[in-house]
Amino acid sequence: QTAEMIKYANNSFLATKISFINQLSNICQKIPGANIDDIGKTIGLDPRIGKLFLNAGPGYGGSCLPKDMKALINFAKTSGINPTLLNAVEEINTKQLEQIILMIKEKLGDLGSKKITILGTAFKPDTDDIRDSIAIELIKKLLKKKAKIIIHDPKAMKNTQRIFKEKINYAKTIKDALSKSQCVIIMTQWKQYEKLNNNQFKYMTKKFVIDCRRVLVKKQLDVDYIAIGLGKEN
């Protein structure tokens, strides 16, 4: 029992760090000049906190964190404990996606028939693993709103296609993914996406970019750009 609790506690604590930095990132977006990356790196220098799992983004996913969070919450409830903190961690994670959808709706209005590009469906770079990927959840929510989705991922295309089949479109190149798109959302921090520039964005019909990983530099781009965790002056 102790070994099992250690595993649950370890992954739940990591999920807590992610939700904590994500909530801070939402605050940063409302403060001109605030930069969540600077905050994460600085507090991570404190050895009591540590630098890992302090990268703000669209939420946590993967095969371990969501599963172990749910397991620990259920274990607490069956033991008669109200897991207030753990519930809040999950709620923050869910609201990260809702915030992204709200950003899109504020720019595009009704999402029906709007062409939206998702860059990255793997739950992290350098893998084809999409288990509990937050990008997959985003696609599901956008499909419910009748949006037209096109995705690109260097490794996870086949796995993504197994889930959505013909419900979405799949682009072999970034250029194809952006062509005639009205919004692009960078979900996974692949190196290829760090090189995006105006020459590629020019193929979009509406140049609206949501950078969930802050891989781009706004000053270098001629687009309507929002980055999670950056105040407006950044």
Q: What is the mean pLDDT of residues 100-111?
A: 96
Task: Judge whether 2-95 and 96-227 match in fold.
Answer: no
Determine the pLDDT at residue 26: 94
Q: Is the dihedral of CA 29, 35, 41, 42 positive or negative?
A: negative
Measured in degrees and rounded to the nearest 5, phi and psi for residue 185 equal -120, 120
Ordered by start, the domain boundaries in the chain are 2-95, 96-227
User: What's the pTM value of the predicted model, to 2 decimals?
Assistant: 0.92
Active site residues: 64
pLDDT above 50 for 154: yes
Query: What per-residue string of b and e applies to 179-214 under the rule 16 or more CB within 10 Å gives b?
Result: bebbbbbbbbbbebbeebeeebbeebeebbbbbbbb
Whole-angstrom distance, CA of residue 69 vs CA of residue 81: 15
Q: What is the mean pLDDT of residues 34-62?
A: 96
Exposed, middle or buried by CB within 10 Å (0-12, 13-18, 19+), for 163?
middle
Assigned CATH topology for domain 96-227: Rossmann fold (3.40.50)
In Å, how far from its chain's centre is CA 146? 20
Confidence of residue 233 (pLDDT cuts 50, 70, 90): low
Exposed, middle or buried by CB within 10 Å (0-12, 13-18, 19+), for 95?
middle
Cα separations in angstroms, 188 against 27, 79, 83, 110, 194? 22, 37, 30, 25, 10
CATH of domain 2-95: 1.10.1040.10
Cα separations in angstroms, 170 against 71, 121, 177, 192, 214? 34, 11, 8, 17, 24
Determine the pLDDT at residue 231: 82
pLDDT above 90 for 232: no
Determine the pLDDT at residue 234: 45
The residues, ordered by sequence, that sit 6+ positions from 8 with a Cβ below 8 Å of its Cβ are: 68, 71, 72, 75
Mean pLDDT computed over every residue of the chain: 95
Determine the pLDDT at residue 1: 82
Q: What is the mean pLDDT of residues 43-47?
A: 98
